[in-house]
Amino acid sequence: MRILRASLQFAVAVSSVAVLSAAPGQVAEFRMAAQLDHFDITCAPEFDRQALSVGRQAENAYQRVSSTLQRDLTFRPLLVLFPTAADRMRAIDTRTIPGNREHVLVALDRPQETIEGQFIHELSHVFLFDALPPAQRHNVPLWILEGFADYQRGEWSEDDRAALKIMVDRGSLPKLSREETLNRDARTNAVFGHAAFDLLAAREGTDGVRRFVDALGDRTPVSAFLAGLELSSADFDHELDVHLSGL
């Protein structure tokens, strides 16, 4: 099974495991710009005006995820604002991200209409990690990590839906009862995971999604997912095939 064993992949948007230290020269450009209900924001001075607008979108996303899961985070993430996606990636690659706490990295050159959906996706990661015992945070299957976040965002991209249809038509959908079928590329895992959480919500509603998150405190992520459905892995495989048969 593909496991997210290091936080560097995850740190493209959120880092909750690794401590990414900042280089002295770069950190000097950043300082605390705002403190909101659930976040602190740091950025360079020239982005102060955007900080509050971005912060409002983050708070809206927080309320949506928190309301769905009926829980709050136990900490305050730091929103780190970068002028461009390239600047954000450069900071990740050079490990020069300001601060050494849980944070969400925001590129300000993204289309405005996509930012809140992206926040929902990334905050879903944060809520998931917050619910996990520390020992489990390095052992989250990629299909759960990305599938949960994509489900929470509430929309399918055309490319992902097309990829899912191809898997269904070819009979190549991963199977929970056969772990070796999950050892595939990141996108396949994300698409499969999104479909899996759609099934969970279709069968059990948001109560099932909450049961999954609540069960993370004393179960492995896969066991918690199946507990939300109250199915065995083989029964889940069958139910997902039926759920997707009309795609």
Per DSSP, the three-state class of 3 is: strand
| Statement to judge: residues 121 and 183 lie in one domain | no
Residues spanned by the domain of 220: 140-243
| Statement to judge: residues 88 and 204 lie in one domain | no
CATH of the domain at 124: 3.40.30
| pLDDT per residue as tens digits for the range 159-172 | 999 999 999 999 99
CB-based contact 69:209 (threshold 8 Å)? yes
| Statement to judge: residues 167 and 225 lie in one domain | yes
Triad 186, 187, 190: Cα angle to 5°: 90
User: What was the pLDDT predicted at 114?
Assistant: 84
Mean of pLDDT values over 98-123: 87
Query: Over 80: is that where the pLDDT of 138 sits?
Result: yes
| pLDDT per residue as tens digits for the range 48-65 | 888 989 999 999 999 999
Reported as type and span, the H/E element at residue 178 is: none
| Statement to judge: residues 64 and 98 lie in one domain | yes
CB-based contact 36:59 (threshold 8 Å)? yes
| Statement to judge: residues 43 and 114 lie in one domain | yes
pLDDT confidence bin for 2, thresholds 50/70/90: very low
| Statement to judge: residues 123 and 16 lie in one domain | yes
| pLDDT per residue as tens digits for the range 19-32 | 233 444 444 478 88
| Statement to judge: residues 109 and 164 lie in one domain | no
Residues 6+ apart with CB under 8 A from 46: none
| Statement to judge: residues 127 and 20 lie in one domain | yes
Strands 3-4 and 140-141: antiparallel
Split into its structural domains, the chain has a count of: 2
